[in-house]
Structure 1
Amino acid sequence: MAVQRVLITGSAGIVGNLMRSRLRRPDRVLRLLDLAPQSAAEPGENVELVTASVTDSAAMAEACAGADALIHLGGHSRENSWEATLDVNVNGTHTVLEAARTAGVPRVILASSNHSVGFRRNDEGGENGVPADSTPRPDTYYGVSKAAIEALGSLYHSRFGMDVIVVRIGSCFETPIQLGPRGLTTWLSPDDAARLFEACLSCPSPGYRLIWGVSDNTRRVYSLTEAEALGYKSLDNAETYAEQVAAMPTPAGIAGEHLGGGFCTAPLGEFNPL
């Protein structure tokens, strides 16, 4: 039985932690890379723990050696200073892609965000939802960095033939409750996220793709056509939690009209927990 080795950067983050158990398989080794501490392997768990930064070219070269695929989740996941965002999200992603290219990693999955197109209107996609390959309209420095990594992924596919799938994630948490009513639109359930990553890992010869990472929510404004073309099938729906967020305030004005929500009005360059 051939064993697949998948390198996951940012594995100690929210999405990385949620995926650790869900992407585990007997024929797969998860190589988990993060600067933050990670729990030791459980009995029978095929994991390799790596403590390193995505900005460390030597460490990334070593981490990519022998990997069959890479899921790049590492980086700042919220608004931050321009300098920090550029260093970790943009330069770090370049470091990761260059290490993957040199090591001959054939497939890379890049975690982007709805904030790369945050100033697109919720209603501009019509019945099918906003297309996954909509051109960037970032809402923050964070959104700019995600648009940049999308472009880097395109470059590395076109120049070097690497299969690159960019996932514009809405919001991936255990439940959408902490996001309030907006979460009923943007939520990607952890189980659906695993289904989506499995589709990205197994789809034959995808080339370069941009897809949305969301569940098939009743209030979804994002197109799932592109993700479903890779074999993704959502089985969850944020509407399950509608009653629990009904009393929470609904975003209004610019925040309510655009994909980026509160990021569209949050101060640039300042960390925010939205």
Structure 2
Amino acid sequence: MERLLITGAAGQLGRVMRTKLAGLADTVRLADRAGLGTPADHEELVQCDLADAQAVNAMVAGCDGIVHLGGASTEGPFEGIVRGNISGLYNLFEAARANGRPRIVFASSNHTIDCYPQAERLGPDVPFRPDGLYAVSKCFGEALARMYFEKFGQETALVRIGSCTPEPTNHRMLSTWLSHEDFASLIEAVFRVPVLGCPVIWGASANDAGWWDNTHLGWLGWKPRDNAEHFRAGVAEAVPQPGSDKSIARFQGGAYVDNPIFKE
């Protein structure tokens, strides 16, 4: 690619992908509401609020691909979720449609299905079972992406990210962990494949204890290499095994299922 856009580039995951995806395009355009420091020679920095449609259009213009990590990343007051994940996402897709439909990696979330029991293995077509307003916004995002694909041919990878951290730190994450390296290689595969469509992709590494089935993705050519099982002994030593009656041991969303809805 000539120019790759990474939104949410000042966030935890955005900072990691800023480095790991540096070789994916001649120029990497990094965007966020927050400051992004000093650009490297191959970087362009853009400050942009996703709720500002004109600014989003300018941010997307000239880009061949988009890794969309921006918007609200956790449960919070609904106004902020709407601004970043509903109005902001609509602005992003409209900007993509107006600027040649660059392929998009959309950071969806396991929160869209968090109320399923841990004993159930999920394929890509299961109904949503969201655990909060943030999760509902990601369900909206997947539906919006699907509509833009059906009506306009906008290709988008709907990546339901599990726990994308340096390593798993609790028992639930032994099933949901996605290593930084596996996420980066997934993004590379999404931009490499000749035809993408609008697939649901479970964002998890090759975990022995995984709950999510990606066997429908053989055509994508992505094979995660990391496995949370290598961390099991350390997790067991550091974190007590939760009781079977606790949400963290019952639901795929763990304790997130118990989170309150923000009212203010």
Is the 2:51–2:84 Cα contact (8 Å) retained in structure 1?
A: yes
Is the 1:110–1:166 Cα contact (8 Å) retained in structure 2?
A: yes
Is the 1:5–1:28 Cα contact (8 Å) retained in structure 2?
A: yes
Deviations 1:162-221 (A, max 9, x none): 1111000001111222xx111111111000010011111111111111111110011111
Distance change >3 Å, CA 66–CA 236, structure 1 → 2: same
Is the 2:207–2:226 Cα contact (8 Å) retained in structure 1?
A: yes
Is the 1:110–1:164 Cα contact (8 Å) retained in structure 2?
A: yes
Match of 1:258 among 247, 251, 255: 251
Q: What corresponds to 1:189 in structure 2?
A: 179
Match of 2:23, SS state, is coil
Match of 2:208, SS state, is coil
**Does 2:95 align with 1:104?**
no
1:270: how far off? 7.2
Match of 2:49 among 34, 42, 53: 53
Distance change >3 Å, CA 159–CA 138, structure 1 → 2: same
Gaps of 5+ in 1: none
Matched residue pairs, number?
Answer: 261
1:41-190 alignment, distance < 5 Å: 41-42=39-40, 45-125=41-121, 130-177=122-169, 180-190=170-180
Shift >4 Å, 4+ stretches: none
Match of 1:235 among 225, 229, 233: 225
1:238: how far off? 1.3
Q: What corresponds to 1:225 in structure 2?
A: 215
Match of 1:109, SS state, is strand
Is the 1:212–1:226 Cα contact (8 Å) retained in structure 2?
A: no
Q: What corresponds to 2:235 in structure 1?
A: 245
Task: Name the Cα RMSD after superposition.
Answer: 1.7
Q: Percent identity?
A: 38
Distance change >3 Å, CA 190–CA 164, structure 1 → 2: same
| 2-structure distance, mates of 1:255, 1:229 | 34
| 1-structure distance, mates of 2:263, 2:37 | 30
Question: Which residue identity lines up with residue 256 of structure 1 in the other structure?
Answer: A
Gaps of 5+ in 2: none
Is the 2:4–2:25 Cα contact (8 Å) retained in structure 1?
A: no
Q: What corresponds to 1:10 in structure 2?
A: 8
Is the 1:112–1:167 Cα contact (8 Å) retained in structure 2?
A: yes
Match of 1:32, SS state, is strand
| 2-structure distance, mates of 1:87, 1:27 | 29
Question: Which residue identity lines up with residue 257 of structure 1 in the other structure?
Answer: R
Match of 1:143, SS state, is helix
Deviations 1:210-234 (A, max 9, x none): 1111100111111122344311111
Give the TM-score normalised by structure 2. Answer: 0.93
